[in-house]
């Protein structure tokens, strides 16, 4: 076996061992960066503007999805019917 083949076999063996470890490390790093990004985004937008920003984001997503009107209608409020249980007697 030549030196080149031995070298390639060793590299393939190391790659097989390091591949899963590197993938897991990359996933953990992406998750941490995502959490950091969300934290920074929540601190960057003042509390009184969050509702407006989320409405704008929903409208933008609606337009991207092909929604023809971006009217946001309030959820209809229904009175909750009180049910009497056997224990309330």
Q: Looking at the predicted structure, is the pLDDT value of residue 86 above 50?
A: no
pLDDT per residue over 58-69, tens digit each? Answer: 788 878 887 666
Do residues 58 and 72 make contact, with C-beta atoms less than 8 angstroms apart? Answer: yes
pLDDT per residue over 19-47, tens digit each? Answer: 888 889 999 999 999 999 988 887 887 77
- For the entire predicted model, the pTM comes to 0.43
User: Mean pLDDT for the chain?
Assistant: 77
| C-alpha dihedral sign at 26, 28, 30, 36 | negative
CA distances from 46 to 5, 39, 57, 59 (A): 61, 13, 16, 20
Q: Looking at the predicted structure, is the pLDDT value of residue 4 above 70?
A: yes
Do residues 31 and 39 make contact, with C-beta atoms less than 8 angstroms apart? Answer: no
User: Domain limits of the chain?
Assistant: 11-63
> What are 16's two structure tokens?
């097989």
Q: Where are the alpha helices (DSSP H) in 1-89?
A: 3-44, 47-64
């Amino acid at each position: 076996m030549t030196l080149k083949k031995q070298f390639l076999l060793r590299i393939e063996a190391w790659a097989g061992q390091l591949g899963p470890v590197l993938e897991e490390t990359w996933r953990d790093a992406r998750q941490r960066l995502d959490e950091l990004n969300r934290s920074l985004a929540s601190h960057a937008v003042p509390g009184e503007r969050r509702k407006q920003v989320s409405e704008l984001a929903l409208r933008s997503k609606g337009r991207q999805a092909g929604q023809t009107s971006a009217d946001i209608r309030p959820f209809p409020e229904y009175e909750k019917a009180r049910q009497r249980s056997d224990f309330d007697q």
